[in-house]
Structure 1
Amino acid sequence: MADEPAQMSEEQIQLANQLFDLARAGETEQLAAYIDAGAPLEMHNANGDTFLILAAYNGAPETVAMLIGKGADLEAENNRGQRALTCAVFKQDVESATHLLNAGADPDAGTPSARATAQMFGFTGIDGFPTAQ
């Protein structure tokens, strides 16, 4: 018999939502403190978004850099198959995209990929991007 996933209390759900809001808002120091205190780095919200995906989508390059430094999964996908690099490219956030690329994020992974997104929206903020490899 498989173990049932643990149910979260209302307080835990509220805290999780607050942490996702910190990632969206680029509240780097506060989010880092929660992660250092034991909050799961790879927590996903109902849409499958991680802290890294939300920070990249919302133009929070300092938070993106902090999460990368703590070992966030660069290739985590949300429920739509989108990854942090694709989100940064879609928002034309050169600084976040650069952090992700320098850390090894794959520009050709995900649906759509960051490269395809760059081509679709004319993102050319990074040297050599979106040229095919």
Structure 2
Amino acid sequence: MDNMFLNACKNAQKGVIQAFLKKGGITIDKRDSLGNTPLYYVCTKGAKDIVKMLIDAGADVNLANNISETPLHCAARNGSKDVIKLLVDAGADVNASNNIGQLPVFYAVLAYKTETALYLISLGADTTVKDNAGYNILDHATANGMRDLVAVLSANNNTAQKDDHGNTPLHQAVYNNQSETVMALLKAGALNVNDLNNNGVSPLILAINNSNMHLAELLIKNGADVNLHVLNGNSALHYAAGQGNQHLGKLLLNTGADINSRNSYSETPLIVAAQLGYNDFTAMLIENNADVNAVDNDTHSAMHFASERGYTEIVEQLLIAGASN
């Protein structure tokens, strides 16, 4: 009879369940091979009336299955605030962790349930916990582009942590080209726009690497340092030169980028662009008075690389501009 009761709960058959409960003699917390209980299955259906019936009949609201999921995890994933309230009022642990370190609020975020996540937070869900992969709910919300939730979470400095790669939520949002999430993070103002990750890269550099003009502008307007030296001493202009992206190059120059900045190899953006044969980018730098005779640590100039690699147009540009080495 326990198996029939369990099956009725899997299918949320309210009348059948009522009949079994009225007759009595059933195991209210009967588990199947997955460790799931009747209450677990009813929560997956979001059937609040049946949830209340089972709780009133003595169902254990914190009984977890084989992967440590509780009924509250299920309710969070389904976004059923009424079921969540019933469970929590009956003593469900809002911070119960599954076998990969995820609380019910993680399930809400991973299911794109913003209101449910906020409700769980209001009930005491811990927003600072990281799962076994090293991510907290702000990381997941950012990855999912949940801008309203991101705005709330990022306003709380306790959640503005870096992941195991040193990325802030702002790094993640820029990397994923999520402009609305980036705007929410910047508006909240809880994150350092110039933070570097473990690879020595700032959000602005990620925007440049993605050739995302809009995000680059947005970051600069919100305090991104265009002259910050990052990985290998490169500036944002070095990265733009490495792509030959004139639009980004002009943006950086118009917002104060040092046209003759040096990286760890003493290369200027002009040397980088000349090495790669970017004619138009090289011309733009020369027009903006880049030092055409600057040399790197090996005393190699832009002219050296352009002539060695056969970039005739760049050689001509440099000669006209007065390059002498």
Larger gyration radius, structure 1 or structure 2: 2
> 2:104: which partner in 1?
84
Does the Cα contact within 8 Å between 2:114 and 2:146 map onto a contact in 1? Answer: no
> 1:63: which partner in 2?
83
| Letter of the 2:153 counterpart | P
| Letter of the 2:31 counterpart | I
Equivalent pairs counted in the alignment come to 125
Distance in 1 (alpha carbons) for counterparts of 2:112 and 2:57: 32
**Any runs of at least 4 consecutive aligned residues in structure 1 with deviations exceeding 4 A, and if so which?**
none
Structure 1: any 5+ residue segments left out of the alignment?
Answer: 1-8
Q: Give the CA deviation at 1:47.
A: 1.5
Q: Deviations over 1:79-121 (max 9, x none)?
A: 1111111111111212211221111111111403212211222
> 2:152: which partner in 1?
129
| Letter of the 1:96 counterpart | T
Does the Cα contact within 8 Å between 1:75 and 1:106 map onto a contact in 2? Answer: yes
> 1:114: which partner in 2?
137
Work out whether 1:50 is the aligned partner of 2:70.
yes
Q: 1:129 aligns to what SS in structure 2?
A: helix
Distance in 1 (alpha carbons) for counterparts of 2:126 and 2:76: 15
| Letter of the 2:71 counterpart | F
Structure 2: any 5+ residue segments left out of the alignment?
Answer: 4-26, 158-325
For residues 5-16 of structure 1, what are the structure 2 equivalents within 5 Å?
12-14=30-32, 16=36
Q: Give the CA deviation at 1:13.
A: 2.2
Q: 1:110 to 1:29 in 2, by over 3 A?
A: farther
> 1:5: which partner in 2?
none
Q: Which has the higher contact order (CA 8 A, sep 6+)?
A: 1
Of 52, 64, 71, the match for 1:32? 52
Does the Cα contact within 8 Å between 1:24 and 1:60 map onto a contact in 2? Answer: no
- TM-score, normalisation: structure 1: 0.81
| Letter of the 1:114 counterpart | I
Q: 2:100 aligns to what SS in structure 1?
A: coil
Q: Give the CA deviation at 1:71.
A: 2.3
> 2:94: which partner in 1?
74
Distance in 2 (alpha carbons) for counterparts of 1:36 and 1:44: 19
Distance in 1 (alpha carbons) for counterparts of 2:146 and 2:61: 29
Q: Give the CA deviation at 1:127.
A: 7.3
Deviating more after overlay: 66-75 vs 48-57 = 66-75
Distance in 2 (alpha carbons) for counterparts of 1:54 and 1:110: 19
Q: Give the CA deviation at 1:17.
A: 3.5
Distance in 2 (alpha carbons) for counterparts of 1:80 and 1:126: 22
Q: 1:46 to 1:127 in 2, by over 3 A?
A: closer
Does the Cα contact within 8 Å between 2:141 and 2:149 map onto a contact in 1? Answer: no
Does the Cα contact within 8 Å between 2:68 and 2:99 map onto a contact in 1? Answer: yes
Q: 1:109 to 1:68 in 2, by over 3 A?
A: same
| Letter of the 1:121 counterpart | N
